Structure 1
Amino acid sequence: MKLRFEWLRGMAPVVLAAGMLTACQTVKTTQTGAVGIERQQMMMVSSGEMEKASSQSYQKILQQAGQKNALNRDKAQVDRVRGIARRLIPATGFFRADAPGWKWEVNVLTSDELNAWCMAGGKIAFYTGIIDKLNLTDDEIAAIMGHEIAHALREHARERASHSMVTNIGVNVLGAALGVGRAGTDLIGGVAKVSFELPNSREHETEADRMGVELAARGGYDPRSAVTLWQKMAKASSGAPPQWLSTHPSNETRQQDLAQYAARVMPLYEQATQRVKPVK
Structure 2
Amino acid sequence: MKTTNKHTSPFRRGAVAAAVIALAAVAGCESVNTTQGGAIGIDRSQRMSSLVSEAELDQQAVQLYQQTLSQARSKGELNTNAAQLTRVRTISQRLIGQVGVFRPDARNWKWEVNVIDSKEVNAWCMPGGKIAVYTGLINTVKPTDDELAAVLGHEIAHALREHARERASQQMATSMGLSVLAAITGSQASSDLGGALANVMFSLPNSRLHETEADRMGVELAARAGYDPRAAVTLWTKMGQTGGSAPPELLSTHPSAESRIADLRQASEKVLSLYQQAKR
Alpha-carbon RMSD across the aligned residues, in angstroms, is 2.3
Alpha-carbon distance in structure 2 between the residues aligned to 1:9 and 1:97? 45
Matched, 1:102 2:105: no
Structure that is richer in helix per residue: 2
SS of the residue corresponding to residue 174 of structure 2 reads: coil
Alpha-carbon distance in structure 1 between the residues aligned to 2:94 and 2:161? 19
Runs of 4+ in 1 over 6 A off after TM superposition: none
Matched, 1:80 2:59: no
- Partner amino acid for 1:272? A
SS of the residue corresponding to residue 223 of structure 1 reads: coil
1:180-214, CA deviations, whole angstroms, 9 ceiling, x for partnerless residues?
Answer: xxxxxxxxxxxxxxxxxx88710000000000000
Kindly report which structure 2 residues correspond to 1:167-206, keeping only aligned pairs within 5 A, or say none.
Answer: 167-168=174-175, 201-206=207-212
1:186 aligned partner: none
1:42 aligned partner: 47
Residue 239 of structure 1: CA displacement?
Answer: 4.7
SS of the residue corresponding to residue 126 of structure 1 reads: strand
2:239 aligned partner: 233
Residue 166 of structure 1: CA displacement?
Answer: 1.2
Which blocks of at least 5 consecutive residues in structure 2 are unaligned? 1-12, 179-202
1:69 aligned partner: 76
Residue 90 of structure 1: CA displacement?
Answer: 1.4
- Partner amino acid for 1:55? V
Which blocks of at least 5 consecutive residues in structure 1 are unaligned? 1-7, 172-197, 275-280
Residue 23 of structure 1: CA displacement?
Answer: 2.5
Matched, 1:259 2:265: yes
Residue 17 of structure 1: CA displacement?
Answer: 4.8
Larger mean CA deviation between 162-171 and 95-104 belongs to 162-171
Distance change in 2, residues 1:107/1:169 (3 Å)? farther
Distance change in 2, residues 1:269/1:83 (3 Å)? same
The alignment covers a number of residue pairs equal to: 238
Alpha-carbon distance in structure 2 between the residues aligned to 1:35 and 1:219? 15
Matched, 1:23 2:33: no
Residue 250 of structure 1: CA displacement?
Answer: 1.6
Residue 24 of structure 1: CA displacement?
Answer: 1.2
Distance change in 2, residues 1:142/1:264 (3 Å)? same
Residue 135 of structure 1: CA displacement?
Answer: 1.1
Alpha-carbon distance in structure 2 between the residues aligned to 1:137 and 1:169? 45
Percent of counterpart pairs with the same letter?
Answer: 58
1:56-99, CA deviations, whole angstroms, 9 ceiling, x for partnerless residues?
Answer: 11111111111111110101100100000110001110000101
If the length of structure 1 is used for normalisation, what is the TM-score? 0.80
Residue 18 of structure 1: CA displacement?
Answer: 5.7
2:279 aligned partner: 273
Alpha-carbon distance in structure 2 between the residues aligned to 1:248 and 1:146? 17
SS of the residue corresponding to residue 104 of structure 2 reads: coil
Alpha-carbon distance in structure 1 between the residues aligned to 2:213 and 2:157? 8
1:84-141, CA deviations, whole angstroms, 9 ceiling, x for partnerless residues?
Answer: 0110001110000101110000000000001000000000000000011111111011
Kindly report which structure 2 residues correspond to 1:83-162, keeping only aligned pairs within 5 A, or say none.
Answer: 83-162=90-169
If the length of structure 2 is used for normalisation, what is the TM-score? 0.80
Alpha-carbon distance in structure 2 between the residues aligned to 1:11 and 1:87? 53
Q: Does the CA contact (< 8 Å) of 1:161 and 1:170 recur in 2?
A: no
SS of the residue corresponding to residue 88 of structure 1 reads: helix
